Amino acid sequence: MADLVAGAVLGAAFAELCDGVKNKVMPKSTTPQLLRDLVSKLESLGPLISEIKEYNSFLDHPIDEDLEEVEQLVVNGKLLISKCANFKGGPWNNRKKNKYKNKLEELDKSLAPLLERLRGQARDLRMELVRARNSADATEVAVETQSDIEIQPFSRRIQNWMVNRSYGSWGIMFMILFLVSMVMAATGSTGTKWFVFNFGINYLGINNY
């Protein structure tokens, strides 16, 4: 049952059922309004089911009981339409004729509450999808904000150091030289690295910020 609902077979089954009602049963029916109502409901179900399947797939939801009920309804409906299409009328067949008419009415009535449930389900899934997307966007913004916060302290310390010591353009040049020395020390000896480190910490006073 799940295979039919999960695949494109269900859409083809719906189309076959609608065509059967319109082309095989309606021309010989004495209750065309009943069949028009039936076709209208069936045609509404098709895109609704496709929408629900798409939402379920995106949200990684399992196939629900309502869709399995739709599958069973389509199977039973196709069987009923086949019998109606092959029915040969006559005064001695009135009983069977009424039986098929009652079956068609039952099928039509069963579609109304099913349609309402599926419309409500599609609406709920649509809202859930919106919430999921908003949550994903909020998480992405939070990660970016945290990255900015982690970068800000060091840059703020440098800005405070430059402003509070009022070194101006000479201070900027001095800072550039210090950073270049740090890079050079990274590939130098241990003594060179220690000298540059202490120079920046003790002389420039960055550790005060």
Q: Tell me the percentage of the chain whose pLDDT exceeds 90.
A: 0
pLDDT at 185 over 70: no
Per DSSP, the three-state class of 151 is helix
pLDDT of residue 7: 43
Length of the chain: 209
- The Cα-based distances of 202 to 80, 154, 177, 205, 206 in angstroms read 93, 17, 16, 5, 8
Per DSSP, the three-state class of 7 is coil
Residue with the bigger pLDDT between 145 and 72: it is 72
CB 69 within 8 A of CB 114: yes
pLDDT of residue 122: 86
Identity of the residue numbered 65: E
pLDDT of residue 166: 52
45-48: long-range contacts (C-beta < 8 A, 24 or more apart)? 45/14, 45/70, 45/111, 45/114, 45/115, 45/118, 46/11, 46/14, 46/15, 48/115, 48/118, 48/119, 48/122
pLDDT of residue 207: 46
Strands, E assignment, the chain: none
Least confident range from 9-18, 70-79, 147-156: namely: 147-156
Nearest-10 Cα torsion for 67, 69, 70, 74: 140
Q: How confident is the model at residue 13 (pLDDT cuts 50, 70, 90)?
A: confident
pLDDT tens string 20-73: 787 777 776 777 788 888 888 888 887 888 788 888 888 887 766 777 777 788
pLDDT of residue 1: 41
pLDDT of residue 4: 40
